[in-house]
Amino acid sequence: MKISFLLHNAYGIGGTITTTFNLAQTLARRHEVEIISVLRHRELPTFVLDPRVSLRSLVDLREDKEHPSHLRPARVFPRSEYRYGQYSELTDQRIAEALATTDADAVIGTRPGLNVHLAREAPGHVARVGQEHLTLDKHSPRLRTALRRAYRGLDVLTTVTEADAASYRRRMRLPGVRVEALPNSVPDPVLPPADGSAKVVVAAGRLVGLKRYDLLVEAFAAVAAKHPDWQLRIYGKGEEQDRLRRLITDLRLWNNVFLMGPAAPMEAEWVKGSIGAATSDFEPFGMTIVEAMRCGLPVVSTDCPHGPAEIIADGVDGRLVPVGDRDALAAALLELVGDDELRRRMSRAALENARRFAPEPVVEQAEGLIAEAVAARRAGRPVVRGGQGAALSARGSAARDTALAAASGALRLVRKGRS
């Protein structure tokens, strides 16, 4: 098969980019695979891409930034999408053109707005696989309303967790569309796993409020007080950097807690630690949890929706603690820091249990879904007969979202009128 991915920006850093590269690379062992990056802002991608996967971009911001069409708003890419501000008439045109002229058997969209393009603009013979790396619950009612309409044009919709797939089936009526959970995969590590002896806790992610590194730093104060030879390393950059630095200073943790800056790939950094930490309020999947486990680190994570609980077996290969609970987080970290044997046992379990996220099992599932969609398109029939969900509750959700979207629109009007 020829498979084409439609990606927001292949040149940045982020979970969707990593997981798309991983899937594309593994598929490329048996198929012809390309990644179309809608945007590009630098010469080379930050992450290394296997040369078997071809990469091209549609709008190169180094040249097209001031293009007249790029200064006009997008019409196809939905206004309620998170990245709307980065899209334009120019991206609308170039995405439409790329889809109209594609010679791929299947095109895979990797975010809501691109899935909308795919559902509306892909030629009839091309199989359409939409991927959701975020979750339905977190989409605004307006975006949900837009997607509810558009996603009927997809053949397959994948989410990253079972919990989110269940939400789509329950709340969206998508007749003929197969909705399945397809977890992110993490490549087989090239370095030997961590041996549990390093006195280092590692966390990685963008330094944004949602990741709650403030909670992690506060919890680590209890660890540093009892075990001053342990350190916490937080990798990543972002808007919270200065605030986190001040917190580290205020808590007098500058000898124990370090903001390491961004690191890609993280593998060599994970193996320097012996415990991973993930403290988000919300995590659609939890890529770094799997990465850490695949390097032999048990991970202490908040039990936030939706990913962590589908990855970590609490007390076996890591710990799940209530969201936002600093003391529970500190207690779980202290338990692992203070017990070498427990840490090593969980490390072995993490290595073993995280194998289900290796590229092979995940890509086999993806391949099956893509092949099914391609076969259905060729035969001119839907992938599944009828909807997979309960139509009644889906109808209720649709009405609620429409009402909520209208209400928020009215509110905006009122605010506008006032200003």
List contacts with other proteins (CB under 8 A).
44, 48, 51, 190-192, 194, 198, 200, 228, 245, 249, 252, 254-255, 258-261, 265, 267-268, 271-272
Give the sign of the dihedral formed by CA 144, CA 150, CA 152, CA 156: negative
| Amino acid occupying residue 228 | P
The DSSP H or E segment spanning 9 is strand 2-9
Q: Please, are residues 325 and 167 in contact by the beta-carbon 8 Å criterion? A: no
CB of 258 or CB of 282, closer to other proteins: 258
Tell me the three state secondary structure of residue 257: strand
Question: Considering the complex, what minimum distance in angstroms separates the CB of residue 417 from other proteins?
Answer: 47
Per the CB < 8 A criterion, the answer to whether 36 and 43 are in contact is: no
Q: Which of 91, 103, 97 is nearest to 9 (CA)?
A: 91
Crossing angle for the helix pair 241-250 and 213-226, nearest 10 degrees? 30
Distance between CA atoms of residues 367 and 387, nearest Å = 22
| List of E strands, 145-244 | 156-159, 178-181, 200-204, 231-235
**Closer Cβ to other proteins, 44 or 379, answer by number:** 44
Residue 255 CB, nearest approach to other proteins (Å): 4
- Give the 3-state secondary structure percentages of the chain, helix then strand then coil, rounded to 5: 45, 20, 35
Of 76 and 198, which CB lies nearer to other proteins in the complex structure? 198
Minimum CB separation of residue 196 from other proteins in Å reads 12
| Residue closer to other proteins (CB basis): 191 or 391 | 191
Q: Which is nearer to other proteins, 67 or 245 (CB)?
A: 245
**Least distance between other proteins and beta carbon 189 (Å):** 9
Least distance from C-beta 35 to other proteins, angstroms? Answer: 16
Smallest distance, Å, CB 207 to other proteins? 13
Cβ distance to other proteins smaller for residue 157 or 257: 257
Q: CA–CA separation, 73 vs 87, rounded Å?
A: 7
Of 138 and 245, the one with the shorter C-beta distance to other proteins is: 245
CA dist 56 → 46, 163, 237 (Å): 15, 34, 27
Distances, alpha carbon 70 to alpha carbons 61, 100, 115, 285, in Å: 9, 20, 20, 32
Nearer to other proteins, 54 or 140 (CB): 54
> Least Å distance between CB 254 and other proteins?
5
Question: Inter-axis angle of helices 287-294 and 340-353, to 10 degrees?
Answer: 110
Least spacing, CB of residue 190 vs other proteins, in Å: 6
